[in-house]
Amino acid sequence: MLRLFITAAALNVLLVAPLWWRFNDIGARLIAWEPWLVVPLLLLLPQGIWRRWLVSLWLLWLALISVANIGDGATYAAFGRSFNLYLDLPLVRSVFHLLEGNVGQLAAFSLMGVAIGLLVGVFVAAVRLLLPSRPYSLRELRGKVALGVAVLSALLITLELNGQRLVPFARVPMINTAMFQWEQVTQTHAARQDFAHTLAQSPLTVKPLPGLAGRNVLLTFVESYGMAAIESPRYRDVLRPTLAEMQTRLEARGIHVVSGLLASPIRGGQSWLAHATALSGRKVENQMWYRLLLESDHGTLVDDFNATGHRTLSVMPAITRAWPEGRAYGFDAIYAADDLPYAGPPLHWVTMPDQYTLDYTARHLLNDGPLFAQIALISSHAPWTPILPVLDDWSLIGDGTIFAPWQNAGDPPDVLWQDLERICDHYAWSVDYAVKVAGRFAERVVNEQTLLIILGDHQAAPLITGENASNAVPVHVISADLALLTPFIARGFVRGTQPPSVDSAENIAGMQQLRRWLHADFAAQTQESSP
């Protein structure tokens, strides 16, 4: 009997432990009924090849469910949503690269190896326990106990599935997870077909933007810059003074700024989906939609500005590997990490500080206009260490070697990430750095022939913002020509660097509206295809 209870209890914990992480409530989920039904039945089976097959198949199912539940906890912590088997398997590689960038390749391999080893070890032990040399017999007490446990569990599972939960802290996670993932797979497949049909049948027409002809248009994304950074009591005392100073400095130079809100399609990560949404005018909220968009003939702002006569380029310092997506967009030039001649140190995941990226852009990329550029600022990407100062004298930046003293400044990620309060402090400081650098960049490059749009790509993870944070991100539109900002004011943007509050905004437009607004306000008045 000891074998039965040890095996069922161990597999019970394996099933419910990921749910403790996901729902942060241990007491509500202490029992998973499935092991208490299946383990005694497997121990009662007579010896034979088919018994080994049944044990193997059931443990394989249990392993898949456990991985799905662990994935659910991870995706909720990182992105504020549930794990979707149909969409999220391709992200495993990205997760590894993020881990590698934060803690190093050796540590990343070690952590993943330990996790896989533990999981394999549990299931090897389970196989041994479920295949005893002498199966349980109903003629023995242990066989009668096993049958009783199985019958009772079957009864309670039946009641649970019919909406009658007699044990408040018990669940059927194997059944629930399997049903939930199957429902997601079928719904996502149908949505995939609808999205592909929409891309093919109702594309947004590529339009020249004569209202912006001859001007530099710089679409600049700030990593993890959500409205929580401005409105949350935890962070606002850091960011609001920086925004106020930014406004004062811009106004002193005759530069105008208006600010508003857009809703990002994602939270916590996958910044490229926000980039794709803003560029395409379509809400791109997952990797499948992203691939479909890039494989279609659907136009983007890159095409619009090409048609307007702009040179188009993308400045992406976080891209360290081949990036075929950039070619799919049709940029005239792409400046990934290896294309930027940075000679300073990497700063954990961050390949180079934002001030270097913007200094190089100002010195080398803005002189051959008119230009449309997508620029990604990454210093406010996790792990948010070290925190750099903004250098007042940009002429000192050069090739970036000036940043060498900060390579090992502050605690490394593995130390910092042991304390949530310190993580939150570093998040606020890193966003403050990125916004301050962007403001100083605006002072340097914005004139009457420039439209600079600074916007957050997404809110930070729920760990940082809380579970109920909206998807709203700040948008700052900057130019020395007030006429370029007037259309944004008509759409609810307000003067200055402080956006309207999320609570006061009646309807926050999705980030996909940015391209549509530029069409409506700066394109030739031609009939647009239905969205």
259 in Cβ contact with 455 (< 8 Å)? no
Same domain, 158 and 255: no
Asked if residue 204 is part of any domain, the answer here is no
Structural domain including 35 reads 2-189
Same domain, 347 and 446: yes
Same domain, 128 and 166: yes
Same domain, 437 and 504: yes
Here the tokens at position 503 are 């609570």
Same domain, 242 and 161: no
For the chain, what is the domain count?
2
What is the pLDDT, as a whole number, of residue 70?
80
What is the pLDDT, as a whole number, of residue 529?
37
Same domain, 253 and 168: no
Helices (H), 80-140: 85-88, 91-103, 105-130
Same domain, 156 and 226: no
Asked if residue 125 is part of any domain, the answer here is yes
Which of 156, 189, 222 terminates a domain? The answer is: 189
What is the pLDDT, as a whole number, of residue 370?
92
HSE on the CB side for 479, CA within 13 Å?
21
Asked if residue 269 is part of any domain, the answer here is yes
pTM of the predicted structure, to 2 decimals:
0.74
What is the pLDDT, as a whole number, of residue 101?
53
What is the pLDDT, as a whole number, of residue 313?
93
CATH number of the domain encompassing residue 331 = 3.40.720.10
What is the pLDDT, as a whole number, of residue 243?
95
Here the tokens at position 79 are 């992105």
Asked if residue 221 is part of any domain, the answer here is yes
Same domain, 450 and 491: yes
Q: What is the DSSP string of 460-497?
A: PPHHHH-TT--SEEEEEEEES-GGGTHHHHHTT-EESS
Same domain, 181 and 272: no
Asked if residue 452 is part of any domain, the answer here is yes
Asked if residue 207 is part of any domain, the answer here is no
Same domain, 166 and 226: no
Same domain, 101 and 52: yes
HSE on the CB side for 505, CA within 13 Å?
23
Asked if residue 194 is part of any domain, the answer here is no
What is the pLDDT, as a whole number, of residue 442?
95
Asked if residue 248 is part of any domain, the answer here is yes
User: How many residues make up the chain in this entry?
Assistant: 531
What is the pLDDT, as a whole number, of residue 526?
42
**Distance in angstroms (rounded) separating the CA atoms of residues 265 and 276:** 10
Same domain, 459 and 364: yes
What is the pLDDT, as a whole number, of residue 368?
80
What is the pLDDT, as a whole number, of residue 314?
93
pLDDT along the chain (531 residues), means of 10: 78 83 75 84 80 83 83 69 67 55 58 71 75 74 80 86 82 84 76 70 81 94 93 92 95 95 88 91 82 79 93 90 78 91 88 94 89 94 89 93 87 82 91 95 94 94 82 95 94 93 83 93 58 37
Backbone φ and ψ of 196, nearest 5°: -60, -40
Q: What is the DSSP string of 306-346?
A: HHHT-EEEEEETT--S--HHHHHHT-SEEEEGGGS---S--
What is the pLDDT, as a whole number, of residue 78?
62
Which of 173, 189, 205 terminates a domain? The answer is: 189
